[in-house]
Structure 1
Amino acid sequence: IRDTIKNLTKERDDLRDTLYKVDKNIQYYQKSEQRLEAYQKNQSPKNKARDDDFEI
């Protein structure tokens, strides 16, 4: 029983570490996606035309 508890505890810790890494990767890719969307929005011709309207 002690060995089983020890093994399950190790497995739980490994899973916790894996979950932490997956969460970090998800956050990284979500931020990357947001930056890409913001970049694409700023590069669209529609927004460029609006920016030109404000030139003095």
Structure 2
Amino acid sequence: MLNVTVDEIQRDPLKYLRQVETGETLVILGQANFFFEFEVCFFRARSEFEIRPKQS
């Protein structure tokens, strides 16, 4: 199991995005502060979601 903090993702978001895209990492969006740091869009009909850094 890989535990990653929001700070770690902010330092190198592409590293973690590549792991998710290749199926190496399962994403669990369970931390409330995650949603304060990132924009998350869910597309139920397509069974997809999109994660972007928060816009300042």
TM-score by length of 2: 0.24
Considering fraction of residues, name the structure with more helix. 1
Give the greater-gyration-radius structure (CA). 1
- The structure with the largest strand share of the pair is 2
Q: TM-score, normalised by structure 1?
A: 0.24
Higher relative contact order (CA 8 A, sep 6+): 2
